[in-house]
Structure 1
Amino acid sequence: MGEDDTQPQQPDEALLIQRHDDRVVATLNRPRVRNAIDQDLVDRLHALCAELEASPRILILTGAGGVFASGADLNQMLQRRAADARAGINTRVFMRIHALPMPVIAAIDGYALGGGAELAFAADLRIGTPSAKVGNPETGLGIIAAAGATWRLPKLVGEARAAEMLYTGRVLTAAEALDWGILQAIHPADELIGAAHALADRIAANDPLAVQHTKTALRSTDHPAIDLALQAELFESPEKTRRMTAFLERRKR
């Protein structure tokens, strides 16, 4: 992992960012409202996405104060009308996070509810603590989970389980989220970020272009054409030659 190259962030900033050579750690930092996602936080996430689109690195998303994100900011949601819904304020930033060139890891402590759950679903990988709770209670508030849950959650847990969660507002415990496939692992709270970095280390040890092309293939429906086109590019890569040669030389020893 590269050295942190940022200046210390102000504690009242809504999104704390630590930049390293091969990864960025972004911490949602609105603990007084349980990291509820408001327009300012959406704007900051868009700015971070622009940075990572221009300079691809692994992204670790987490939350301050023992909470990932309790949902969209209801004070703002209460004022929104049809035009705001059609604008897809949260939807579009979560889609942008989902489409980032390098993998996104969500490190979840405490609540990931509503829009917070949909932010987690937009990640490639999710790990949590024993106190993690994941769910979409939107129907109880007179709205739907329109920022990704209706199409990403079925891919994670299957249509029937997704329907149960979205119709009833059921909130899963960490153990249930692990069993259902939303979480890949559970770690003690004081080890969560270290575990996220360890996962990022394993990704960063591989060829970045091969990782990016793997993510592109995973997101595509044009199989096998996309896989063969991406593989063709990698077959001409000097990094492929270097890594395979090094592997063969190590095997000879």
Structure 2
Amino acid sequence: MTSLAKLSITFCRNVAFGTISRRSGTLLNNIRLSSAGPNLQYITVEKKGEQQNIGLITLNRPKALNALCNALMKEVSETMDDLEADDSIGAIILTGSGKAFAAGADIKEMKDQNFAHVFRSNFLAHWDRIAYACKPVIAAVNGYALGGGCELAMMCDIIYASETAKFGQPEIILGTIPGAGGTQRLTRIVGKSKAMEMVLTGMQITAEEAEKWGLVSKVIPPDQLLPEAIKLGEKIASLSKLSVAMAKEAVGHAYETTLQEGLKIEKRMFHSTFATDDRREGMTAFVDKRAPKFTDS
């Protein structure tokens, strides 16, 4: 692989294929999903799909409508590190147990906090781990996705929603504002006017409205939500993990840079694929009229 390709993809490849972890910065050569399992209190983690190549994280505080307490988000962050280090995993699904995806941040945990504490501790700083994942993350929103729950869904790459899902940023009703990306990601997705309406009134929108506004990719009957999300994950996982990570990074830049800068980054990423075995295999297989056998290299 050329120096240009290494410069373009080394970081994501390292995270995605198990050489480094943001949590510790040390080698994680053989960390696997089961390592965190016994110690998890607020989430569950499973492998799904025919090839067991889909990581499923389920927020598991059903009595609290999966309210996002700090300990839960720490478990999500650490589990994401493990899933990204597990090179058998090609995609990750995030969902909630019971009748909610996540009905918001844990208000009981926040109500007695003061400015000095949340400022000094940089409260919510580690909540965006999913937004920086190199592997694709699919949100399967099965009910309420409000406040921090809506923000968490927007950190994912693709959102599938059940017909009963509800989205909203109701923080204004509590005398505060979104603090984990609600004012920023929502505006970029649905536009200024609709984002203002949701943020300034705390209104909730249906899954159908969310799809119409571009917040959701697909609305699905509740009993088919997880199977459809797994099917999508399997389709992505069947492709080159290296190319998928690069494509995801290129799309991400569309929200963070100017068009000209984004086009430049895309072109360089495209050029970099010509230093990979998977690009050669994919094109050769196409010409030979056979299925490609990617090696993620």
TM-score (normalised: structure 1): 0.90
Going from structure 1 to structure 2, the CA distance change for 1:208 and 1:84 (only over 3 Å counts) comes to: farther
- The answer to whether the aligner puts 1:34 opposite 2:65 as a matched pair is yes
Match of 1:192 in 2: 225
Match of 2:283 in 1: 244
Q: 1-side partners of 2:193 and 2:282: how far apart?
A: 43
Q: 2-side partners of 1:219 and 1:27: how far apart?
A: 25
**CA offsets 1:113-146 (integer angstroms, 9 cap, x no match):** 0111110111111011111000010001011011
RMSD, aligned CA: 2.3
Q: 2-side partners of 1:84 and 1:161: how far apart?
A: 33
Match of 1:233 in 2: 272
- The answer to whether the aligner puts 1:13 opposite 2:41 as a matched pair is yes
Match of 2:75 in 1: 44
Matches within 5 A, 1:68-83: 68-83=101-116
**CA offsets 1:74-100 (integer angstroms, 9 cap, x no match):** 100102222444344335322x21110
- Corresponding letter in the other structure for 1:64: S
**CA offsets 1:40-60 (integer angstroms, 9 cap, x no match):** 101101211222443464110
- Corresponding letter in the other structure for 2:47: R
Q: Say which SS state the counterpart of residue 17 (structure 1) adopts.
A: strand
- Corresponding letter in the other structure for 1:82: F
Tell me, which stretches of 5 or more residues in structure 2 are unaligned? Answer: 1-31, 291-297
Matches within 5 A, 1:1-253: 6=34, 13-19=41-47, 21-55=52-86, 57-86=90-119, 87-94=121-128, 96-220=129-253, 221=257, 222-250=261-289
Tell me, which stretches of 5 or more residues in structure 1 are unaligned? Answer: none
Going from structure 1 to structure 2, the CA distance change for 1:51 and 1:83 (only over 3 Å counts) comes to: farther
Q: Say which SS state the counterpart of residue 140 (structure 1) adopts.
A: helix
* More deviation, 128-137/17-26: 17-26
Contact 1:90 1:115 in 2 (8 A): no
Q: 1-side partners of 2:242 and 2:107: how far apart?
A: 40
- Corresponding letter in the other structure for 1:48: T
Q: 2-side partners of 1:83 and 1:119: how far apart?
A: 25
Q: How many corresponding residue pairs?
A: 247
Q: 2-side partners of 1:53 and 1:83: how far apart?
A: 35
Contact 2:91 2:234 in 1 (8 A): no
User: Relative CO higher for 1 or 2, CA cutoff 8 Å, sep ≥ 6?
Assistant: 2
